[in-house]
Structure 1
Amino acid sequence: MEQLRWVPSTVDVTKPSVARMYDYYLGGSHNFEADRAAAKAVEQIFPGIALTAQANRSFLRRCVRHFVAQGVTQFLDLGSGIPTVGNVHEIAQQDVPDARVVYVDVEPVAVSHANALLAENPCATAVQADLRSPSAVLAGCDLLDFSKPVAVLLIAALHFVPDADDPHGAVAHYMDACAPGSFLALSHGTHDGLNLEETAEAKQVTAIYNKTDNPLTMRSHAEVSRFFDGLSLLDPGVVAVNDWRPDTYTDYMSIYAGVARKDA
């Protein structure tokens, strides 16, 4: 089991993890047989799931570049997952070497591997915490100065937070802690636009994710738009992830995305 030395002993590698499944979709190597089996089962139902993950990653890159262009050099990446090529610190620090990044994830493998990769990077770190507990997360973000603008990133994370855990309240808590000039960027899965046959397939996918620690909660356009309440939504608004200021064209993905600025 040489390849498992980087895995914390508390991790159950026989149960699929959404972070490790996402790593698989992106072509990463930090996933296990249970993750691959679950991911492949999803792929059989929705063959485009890997393209959707890649569309999310492309949206993340576009957001970070936009924020750096606006002078924002601090990033809080919530539900960051396992580090893969093109992570936030790699993009931001290309233009601003001392840009500061805090990755937050509840998945031990994600945090363990992230900190191994960031060992020589004093401006980036990973924290194991649950994004549903904003006070605890913010208390662990010593690397960031919240008196200055911060970009809060929630990329394909909130559809793993059920309504009972008040995701809208959590997002508002994070943004309340940020200075004016801060940004919120998020993408979120949806069943909007699906026909009856696709909805049945979506239910099958939901059943697969229900076997992980993070069941899916898809939301409508109106519900996703609520995350931006009190903020100034940037053009083109809440749209399909590949339609937010695209640099390449892909077909519709069942994920909404949007970016907003905190003005006061």
Structure 2
Amino acid sequence: MTAELSTSTPKTAAPDPEPDRVDLRDVCIVHGRGERAVVAVEGVDLTVRPREIVSIVGHSGCGKSTLLRSLAGLLPHASVQGSLSILGRTPDEARRSGLLSMVFQDAVLAPWRTVEGNIRLPLQVARGRQRRPGKTISEQLEVVGLGGYEKRYPKQLSGGQRQRVSLARALMMEPRVLLMDEPFGALDEITRDEMHTELLRIWETTDASIVVVTHSIPEAVFLSDRIVVMAAHPGRIVDVVDVGFARPRSNDLKDTPEFARIAHRIRTALEDNR
């Protein structure tokens, strides 16, 4: 009997999924020592997946900005306990290598530098220690909608434009994780709505995962894939809400019943955990 030859195509193993970009395990953050010690954050577990947008919402003083700054390695005088990693590295290592960047509520632009000069700062600070960026400054400005603004100074820009410059600067080294602390909190409501859609448009051109802290429930629902709700005393996670809206998103989404349902759930969690 002659053996039959198999004509089936060998199965190719599926590629391993990319690991989480951010991984927090039982994180506790304490300010001060002894009798003056204050537990700002306690028992936080959180992961952020590749190209995911996660918002953290909560009342003032719940520890959300403290948690974000711990991810950026910007709490030198606090005691940070538990496991906290960015792409398998410490926050300091991730920031120094250009894998991590941060945008603050204030644009924090040097007034004596032009737009081009402000965006160039990460390149000058790195001095070859980080990988080379994939875009030029002019290309990055085109991405954020400020093409041709290279020679202007911060005082010649609107609030929304200054935040675009800040965002362009943060994205210059093409970070894998972008942290945003109330990035649109100082803007008027109309400009804020515009920046919501602009941020999502810009994010589509990157490989970044985003973690954003905000007091605005509509902002969190519109931007996010998941929303982390925090309560205070001590700061802790009381709810995690999945947002299933398809992308791209438009501001019309904010008028839909499902948008209102998600916002109501977040508002109820905040009220129940004051």
Normalized per residue, which structure has more helix?
Answer: 1
Provide TM-score, normalisation by structure 2.
Answer: 0.35
Larger strand percent: 2
Q: Which has the higher contact order (CA 8 A, sep 6+)?
A: 2
